[in-house]
């Protein structure tokens, strides 16, 4: 392509930002489909691309598989009926028709933080095969720094025989939305944008200013834009880990972490988060690994430590329960909520799995409840659903997800329960204690008192039975302090 043709290519890409332009959205999941509707609402036509044939066929019938966003079903049906939205499994063909291509295909981690690129690599190759001169490609998937300008640029150029910045434009803009409130987040959170060169950045900025009502922040490069998402997410993970460490300190010293943090946060430079039983979701427990992937050996020690601290809170939660009821071996414990977040039907990296495994490792009978999941779905995720027959034997409840349904929880259904560990501070202490159960929250400062009370109760029961061992739960020996996996 000649230098004289380059300005024409840039102008062509900018036309995709104008009303009537065609946008290909690659990945029609919980973020991709709402993005498609967002673009349609701002005058674009959208071709949605997905490898899931059922999703594609459903959308083409005007059906919506994303139910978390208010009004989505009606918007999808209207867009399809008006000829503004159609879906396909042929990404390459869709890209040939598009002025702008937005890729929002998940990247996950496996095992010890290994980044799995297979899905998005396949999508990138499909995009590259259909790429044409003047097109603008933007990745919104959270990525390790340098992925857009390195890995994906090379793939796109190889598949298309075109050159980024000369023949087509390439940018990056991380999604910054939460499931259930995506349209709100698109309105209020600034859009961070960077390209592989100045022309790509300008084209991507122009596109987002045309399809969003929020502020657009222009970064120096695609790498810088990738870095933004990783550090904002890792900051939250590290802050939560710090709060969890504070909570453990408070528990050991009879202090109220929540009250202390609230007071500390009245100072404008203090932003202490709330402690809990762990960190779940697609983002916070995952993206620190993307950042660490690019670190030198021994670098970024604080994010690495934060991951260990937060994942260890499940074990600590079991410690807190055992401080009240003694060893959980042979006792029934019910986890309330397997979703990673309240009122969201999603289990990505949920702390419920860590709690289940920690309890099972100590011999507990572990059950699960979640109003968003059927019993069959719970079993498919590796949980044993609670039954009315087993509810009467439950000795401890753990609130893992703050579902609104749990505000109406019938504690009377668990007559043998002695303790409720409120891992998300979703319940009222007074309500739990009125039901005759101990209320435990991370950082409530009551650990020492609970252990003392349990020791006293065990001693009294032993004396009544003449030192012999009884089959009653109350005769179980006091839980000994376990080595702290965080320290």
Alpha carbon separation from 91 to 94, 96, 102, 118, 149 (Å, rounded): 5, 9, 11, 16, 21
Tokens of 206: 């122009």
Please say if 229 is a catalytic residue: yes
The answer for residues whose C-beta is within 8 angstroms of residue 434's C-beta and 6 or more apart is: none
Q: Are 210 and 17 in contact (CB under 8 A)?
A: yes
The two structure tokens encoding residue 446: 């009551």
| CA–CA distance, 30 with 284 (Å, rounded to integer) | 17
**283, 345, 417, 469: which is the annotated catalytic residue?**
283
The verdict on whether 191 is a catalytic residue reads: no
Task: Round to whole Å and give the CA distance between 147 and 440.
Answer: 44
Q: Which CB contacts under 8 angstroms, 24+ apart, belong to 61-69?
A: 64/33, 65/33, 66/29, 66/30, 66/33, 66/34, 68/30, 68/179, 68/180, 68/182, 68/344, 68/345, 69/34, 69/179, 69/180, 69/182, 69/183
The catalytically annotated residue of 30, 191, 229, 345 is 229
Give CA angle at 135 (50, 24), nearest 5°. Answer: 20
Question: What's the token pair of residue 271?
Answer: 């932003």
Active site residues: 229, 283
């Amino acid at each position: 392509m000649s230098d004289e043709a380059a300005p024409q290519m840039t102008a062509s890409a900018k036309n995709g930002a104008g009303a009537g332009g065609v946008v290909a959205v690659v990945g029609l999941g919980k973020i991709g489909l709402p993005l498609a509707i967002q673009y349609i609402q701002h005058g674009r036509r959208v071709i949605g691309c997905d490898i899931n044939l059922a999703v594609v066929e459903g959308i083409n019938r005007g059906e919506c598989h994303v139910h978390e966003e208010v009004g989505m079903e009606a918007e999808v049906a209207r867009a399809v009926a008006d000829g503004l939205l159609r879906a396909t499994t042929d990404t390459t063909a869709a890209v040939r028709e598009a002025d702008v291509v937005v890729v929002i295909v998940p990247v996950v981690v496996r095992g010890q933080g290994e980044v799995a690129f297979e899905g998005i690599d396949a999508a990138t190759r499909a995009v590259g095969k259909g790429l044409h001169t003047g097109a603008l490609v933007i990745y919104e998937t959270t990525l390790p720094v340098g992925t857009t300008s390195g890995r994906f640029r090379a793939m796109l150029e190889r598949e298309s025989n075109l050159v980024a910045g000369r023949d087509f434009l390439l940018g990056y803009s991380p999604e910054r939305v939460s499931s259930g409130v995506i349209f709100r987040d698109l309105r209020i959170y600034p859009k961070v944008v960077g390209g592989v060169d100045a022309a790509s950045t300008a084209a991507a900025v122009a596109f987002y200013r045309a399809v969003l009502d929020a502020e657009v922040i222009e970064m120096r490069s695609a790498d810088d834009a990738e870095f933004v998402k990783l550090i904002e997410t890792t900051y939250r993970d590290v802050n939560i880990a710090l709060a969890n460490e504070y909570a453990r300190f408070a528990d050991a010293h009879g202090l109220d972490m929540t009250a202390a943090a609230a007071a500390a946060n009245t100072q404008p430079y203090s932003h202490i988060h709330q402690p809990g039983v762990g960190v779940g979701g697609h983002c916070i427990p995952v993206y620190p690994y993307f950042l660490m992937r690019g670190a030198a050996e021994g670098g970024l020690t604080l994010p690495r430590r934060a991951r260990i601290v937060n994942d260890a809170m499940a074990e600590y939660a079991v410690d807190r329960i055992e401080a009240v009821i003694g060893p959980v071996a042979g006792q029934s414990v019910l986890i309330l909520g397997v979703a990673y977040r309240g009122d969201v039907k999603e289990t990505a990296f949920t702390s419920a799995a860590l709690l289940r495994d920690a309890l099972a490792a100590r011999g507990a009978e572990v059950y699960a409840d979640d109003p968003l999941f059927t019993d069959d779905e719970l079993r498919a995720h590796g949980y044993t659903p609670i039954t009315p027959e087993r509810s009467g034997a439950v000795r401890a409840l753990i609130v893992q997800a703050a579902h609104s349904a749990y505000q109406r929880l019938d504690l009377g259904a668990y007559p043998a329960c002695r303790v409720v560990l409120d891992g998300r501070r979703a319940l009222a202490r007074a309500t739990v204690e009125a039901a005759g159960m101990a209320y435990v929250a991370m950082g409530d400062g009551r650990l020492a008192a609970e252990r003392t009370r349990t020791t006293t109760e065990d001693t009294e029961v032993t004396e009544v039975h003449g030192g012999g061992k009884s089959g009653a739960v109350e005769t179980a020996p006091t839980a000994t302090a376990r080595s702290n996996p965080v320290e």
